[in-house]
Structure 1
Amino acid sequence: MPSYRAARTSEDVMRELTAILREMKDPRIAEAMLSIVKIDLSSDLSSCQVFVSSMKDLAAAQEAVKVLKNGAGFLRRELGGRLKLRHTPELRFTADNSIEHSAEISKILHRLEQEGRHED
């Protein structure tokens, strides 16, 4: 039963953090076009590792992570107010380049598809 609760809470945290990030007025966050890729919530719900990726590049994600780490207290308070948890998990942010990586894979696949059409 605890694994179901953790999975459900993880989804809730991801949804609410995404909404909070969209509402933030800081230009360093808005310009980075951030996306929360993955959340690792501890089994006791005390800590949460948030993997953030940027549509621009890894450097933009790393800069945004610095801003998010400085505002972690604010984000935790907002999250606690929205989710009504007894204890809001401690938030730790990590930059991730998975969006950039998937865009590169998509370009390669598109190029291979074009080359395959030219051979026919």
Structure 2
Amino acid sequence: MADSARAAKLAQRIKVVVAEALRRTVKDPRVEGLTVTDARVTNDLQHATVYYTVFGDETAQSEAKIGLERAKGVLRAEVGKNITVRLTPTLEFIADEIPENASNLEALLRVAKERDAKLAELSATAEFAGEADPYKKDEEDADEA
């Protein structure tokens, strides 16, 4: 059984090999706008999961998934040629959720900024609830001091 450091190195190499193979070897127009974002390999080096993003709408994403499934054999052969392990790992392609997570985070930041602006506006016109000096002393205490 391989250690996790070797699996991480192999995953990085698979990521590079798959990205290069998509750019050079695979001529399918469905995978042209595809970017490989990450790869993970199991510790036994038998299975690799490749994460990708696609620039475009839902139809472009579904077309890219179909294109990747059709090119899976060619990509696995390229991986086998470029890595030095006894068995070439099987490839699984999963659409990365980074763009969706980033858009959700941007929306949350926008809402927080709007709330901060409203709070700053309210605090600019706010007045004290009581007198200006809450520690005001009685006149007798002031004479003693």
TM-score normalised over the length of structure 2 = 0.65
Cα deviations by residue, 1:39-73 (Å, 9 ceiling, x for unpaired): 22111111112222112134422321111112211
Structure 2 distance, partners of 1:71, 1:61, is: 15
Instruction: Tell me what 1:82 maps to.
Output: 82
Contact 1:18–1:35 (Cα < 8 Å) also in 2: yes
Across the aligned residues of Structure 1 and Structure 2, the Cα RMSD in angstroms comes to 2.5
Relative distance call for 1:58 and 1:105 in structure 2 (3 A) is: farther
Is it true that 1:38 corresponds to 2:38 in the alignment?
A: yes
Larger Rg: 2
- Give distance in 2, aligned partners of 1:115 and 1:25: 49
Supply the distance in 2 between the matched residues of 1:96 and 1:85 (Cα, whole angstroms): 26
Q: How does 1:68-79 map to 2 (within 5 A)?
A: 68-79=68-79
Listed as ranges, the gaps of 5+ residues in structure 2 are 122-145
Contact 1:52 1:61 in 2 (8 A): no
Give the SS at the match of 2:16. Answer: helix
The more displaced of 56-65 and 84-93 is 56-65
Q: Please say if residues 54 and 99 of structure 1, whose CA atoms lie closer than 8 Å, have aligned partners that are also in contact.
A: no
Q: Do the aligned residues in 2 keep the contact of 1:34 with 1:54 (CA within 8 Å)? A: yes
Partner of 2:54: 54
* Contact 1:37 1:53 survives alignment (8 Å): yes
Q: Distance between the aligned counterparts of 1:18 and 1:109, measured in 2?
A: 32
Q: Which residue of 1 aligns with 2:135?
A: none
CA shift for structure 1 position 111: 8.6
Q: What displacement does 1:14 show?
A: 0.8
Summarize the Cα distance change of 1:22–1:110 in structure 2 as closer, same or farther, 3 Å threshold.
farther
- Partner of residue 28, structure 2: 26
Aligned residue pairs, count: 118
